[in-house]
Amino acid sequence: MIKVNENFCRLAPNYLFSEVARKIQTFQKANPEAHVIKMSIGDVTRPLCPSAVEALHRAADDQGHPDTFHGYGPEQGYAFLAEKICQFDYAPRGISVQPDEIFISDGAKSDLGNIGDIFSPDCVAAITDPVYPVYVDTNVMAGRRVVFLPCNEANDFVPELPSEPVDLIYLCYPNNPTGTTLTRAQLKVWVDYALASGAVILFDSAYECFITEADIPHSIYEIPGAERCAIEFRSFSKTAGFTGMRCGYTVVPHALKGVDSLGHEVDLNNLWRRRQTTKFNGASYPIQRAAEAIFTPSGRIQIRESVDYYLRNAAILRQGVTAAGLSCRGGVNAPYVWVKTPDGITSWEFFDRLLAQTHVACTPGVGFGSCGEGYVRLTAFNTLAATEMAMDRISKFKI
């Protein structure tokens, strides 16, 4: 029989959100009359903005005419979108990113999972705990050693620098799942550490559009020197409701270098280009046209309305859980609210009791790592009506 990649056998049998979905489905089957409100996976509920829909229609028409038909596109993405990203996501913050440093893809999840291809399997990965499970699971699949950086009340959810040498550092801010943030000064500590140690920071800023407070960096490249030590991942999923469309991008600066076993310097931008051109054929033309449309004046206003809508939901979540006597973090610069379970109840016990009693589904914090035990995560991505109904039910929840 064929030998398998045994690293997969070291993973939990199901991906976190598949497991949560399975549990909800089992509950719904046993209780068909229950109206379950899903505050679990961070999936958007607002439809695509009109500017993106119009662009999709136009792109569909393009594909129906010989003069405007597009076959294989550039694997790295169309210049029309990369140029808009540089112009609108980076230049206004004083960051100089060139279009050929942008790699457009089918979403940040794929890029975060695939980026490990360009690093040695011997690299040690430092990963905050709790964390978006993709970072840990993909490093386990690759056979890498993972060092966890606990984030808890004791350190105010700010990770401490690793106590041993590491090569890759995963940071996600605003944070999924805790909704916490790092200030410029706190992020600078990590950039300085990476520059001094030769580590590379993999910075997931998928939630930057939810930042409402000053002094919280939207991009790691706001920190001097980060272009020499960091790769940044961005997503249109939460920014523009693209969870079902699939589009995101990764920035790999030319200034970022690695080294081979002979000590020769290697350009990471070239390696990622080589990886993507070999294993990926690019996000589709209509999807990239729709993404481009969110940078038009009307598109920018429309997506801001949706982000503000979800931020209002987040405020309702914070008020609701606090009124129910529970303490929480996040929800101010992020669409996630991180709720502490009372009386030492485990994350999964709380999940089960909440679902059984109120028919509200959350995500158990322990699914994001052992430091998430004793917490659950609520998402602000449901509708306003569902968010209000969930909070009404939680206000009557007898723990």
Q: Which residues bind ligand MLT (CB under 6 A)?
A: 41-43, 109, 132, 176, 237
Nearest to 23 by CA among 317, 353, 371: 353
Nearer to ligand MLT, 132 or 350 (CB): 132
Dihedral angle, C-alpha 190, 196, 202, 204, nearest 10 °: 20
Nearer to ligand MLT, 109 or 234 (CB): 109
- Cα–Cα dist 390/230, whole Å: 39
Nearer to ligand MLT, 42 or 320 (CB): 42
Nearer to ligand MLT, 132 or 157 (CB): 132
* Residue whose CB is nearest to ligand MLT in the complex, by number: 42
Nearer to ligand MLT, 176 or 341 (CB): 176
Distance in Å, CB of 81 to ligand MLT, minimum:
20
Distance in Å, CB of 108 to ligand MLT, minimum:
7
Distance in Å, CB of 290 to ligand MLT, minimum:
18
Distance in Å, CB of 184 to ligand MLT, minimum:
25
Nearer to ligand MLT, 41 or 345 (CB): 41
At a CB cut-off of 8 Å and minimum separation 6, what does 300 contact? 88, 294
Distance in Å, CB of 372 to ligand MLT, minimum:
12
Distance in Å, CB of 388 to ligand MLT, minimum:
21
Distance in Å, CB of 38 to ligand MLT, minimum:
11
Distance in Å, CB of 136 to ligand MLT, minimum:
13
Nearer to ligand MLT, 43 or 267 (CB): 43
Nearer to ligand MLT, 112 or 199 (CB): 112
